[in-house]
Amino acid sequence: MKVVHIISGGELGGSKKHVVQLLTNSPVEAELLLLTEGAFAEEARKEGIPVTVIQQSSRLDRSTGKKILAFLKQGGFSLVHSHGARANFLVNSIYKKLGMPWFITVHSDPTLDFLHQPKPLAKIFTVLNQRAMRRADHLFAVSEKFKDMLIQMGVKPKKITSVFNGINFHDTLPSFDKREIRESLGAKTDDFVFAIVARLHPVKGHDILLEAFAKTDKKDWKLWIIGEGDLRTKLEQQAQKLGISDRVAFLGKRDDIDQLLYAADVSLLTSHSESFPLVLLESADMATPVISTNVGGVPALIDPGKTGWIVEPGRADALMYAIEKAMDAETDTEAMGHLLRSFAKENFSNENLQRDSLDVYSKVLNVN
């Protein structure tokens, strides 16, 4: 079995990590086809993944589909697996000539993927992406909620498999210098540190998070906001207006995410929509408990009150309550983190993801 995965190549978040880890030491022969050069391609090559780049000048570059088809025909592939709307559009454009099964992994809510686009374009792109998903031979939904959503979009249930994300966990918990990391970022030893790792995008709910912190009466806390995006200036202004900017640090893009999560007391995820966020597994790997909104596959990972807390999206008051609960002197966040790590390592490893994906590939290929 020989598989080619197609993705834009400009991604910096969870979908990039998902694909790179899925293809690293893959149990099947796998290659990666990207539409642009950059950090994604470089990271994949470092992991020993065969990478081909077919540069697409713009979303309207129709020649790209023909180039992809020629590459697929020459490569002797058993199936093609696309990730993200841009790749879905292109594979859909050559579907009738493909001659092999087409898989899609749905990493995010298709109705929210184009919030950053003007409304007319967003509507068109959303319709095209959903059309591609209905056409594909099989889809991986990275949560049960996403499976239900795809069925509501008109995808036949037999064409969908729920496969949770996984990561390569450390064999043992690393021993970074927590005190040194905190001091380098202006946090005291006795400060209660929260960290959120997410691009600064409306769907991630940073504005609700800042509202929640502004509501709490507790003072000895720090918030590390890790990630970049168009909303940075707006969020900095919001923190200033709420009077909490002295306790909120915008750290931008970082290459030491694991160390920051290790040094934090609690990791946060405040999104309005997610599939199965890899950052929660990365937090678990660092034995850091989580406060998360009730999105995607989060309930499959977090046991409320034991390994973290789950709140409804968009609820600053509920989020504030969870924040205060985490900071309560009677709450043993260290023990919660170790319990979370043990559960996640057993149930959400990259090896599990690779095995489950291979099982589905094999079943579909047998049918076809």
- The pLDDT tens digits for 276-314 are 888 999 999 999 999 999 998 899 999 999 999 999 999
Q: 309-335: per-residue pLDDT in tens?
A: 999 999 999 999 999 999 999 999 999
The answer to whether residue 41 scores a pLDDT higher than 90 is yes
Residue 30 has pLDDT above 60, yes or no: yes
Residue 54 lies in a domain: yes
Do 216 and 70 fall within a single domain?
no
Say if 230 falls within a structural domain: yes
- Do 129 and 210 share a domain, yes or no? no
Most confidently modeled range among 63-67, 114-118, 237-241, 272-276: 237-241
One domain for residues 212 and 163? no
341 and 356 in a single domain? The answer is no
* 12 and 142 part of one domain: yes
What CATH number is associated with residue 97?
A: 3.40.50.2000
In three state form, how does the secondary structure of the chain look?
Answer: CEEEEEECCCCCCHHHHHHHHHHCCCCCEEEEEECCCCHHHHHHHHCCCCEEECCCCCCCCCHHHHHHHHHHHHHCCCEEEEECHHHHHHHHHCHHHCCCCEEEEECCCCCCCCCCCCHHHHHHHHHHHHHHHHHCCEEEECCHHHHHHHHHCCCCHHHEEECCCCECCCCCCCCCCHHHHHHHCCCCCCCEEEEEECCCCHHHCHHHHHHHHHHCCCCCEEEEEECCCCCHHHHHHHHHHHCCHHHEEEEECCCCHHHHHHHCCEEEECCCCCCCCHHHHHHHHCCCCEEEECCCCHHHHCCECCCEEEECCCCHHHHHHHHHHHHCCCCCHHHHHHHHHHHHHHHCEHHHHHHHHHHHHHHHHHHC
Q: Which of 163, 37, 53, 44 is nearest to 104 (CA)?
A: 163
Domain assignment present for residue 266? The answer is yes
Same domain, 341 and 359: no
Give yes or no for a contact between 80 and 93, defined as CB atoms under 8 angstroms apart.
no
Say whether both 140 and 191 belong to one domain.
no
Domain count, the chain: 2
Residue 318 sits in the same domain as residue 359: no
Q: What is the pLDDT of residues 263-276, one digit of tens each?
A: 999 999 999 988 78
Per-residue confidence at 116, pLDDT binned at 50, 70, 90? low
Mean pLDDT, to the nearest integer, of 3-13?
85
Q: Do 15 and 155 belong to one domain?
A: yes
Contact 301, 310 (CB under 8 A): no
Distance CA 22, CA 29 (A): 12
- 214 and 162 in one domain? no
pLDDT at position 219 over 90? no
User: Is 291 within a domain?
Assistant: yes
pLDDT of amino acid 115: 60
**Same-domain check for residues 138 and 191:** no
Cβ contacts of 135 within 8 Å, gap of 6 or more: 92, 95, 102
Q: Give the tens place of pLDDT for each residue, 155-175.
A: 999 999 998 889 999 999 999
**What's the mean pLDDT in 74-82?**
95
What is the extent of the structural domain holding 211?
178-347
With 90 as the cut, is the pLDDT of residue 145 above it?
no
Residues 189-215: pLDDT tens digits? 889 999 999 999 998 999 999 999 999
> Is residue 162 included in any domain, yes or no?
yes
For residue 199, give both structure tokens. 């691009």
In a domain, 50, yes or no: yes
Query: Does residue 161 form part of some domain?
Result: yes
Res. 128: pLDDT tops 90: no
Query: Can you give the pTM of this predicted structure?
Result: 0.79
Looking at the predicted structure, is the pLDDT value of residue 34 above 70?
yes
212 and 151 within one domain: no
Q: For 35-61, what is the mean pLDDT?
A: 89
Residue 173 lies in a domain: no
Residues β-bridged to residue 34: 7, 53
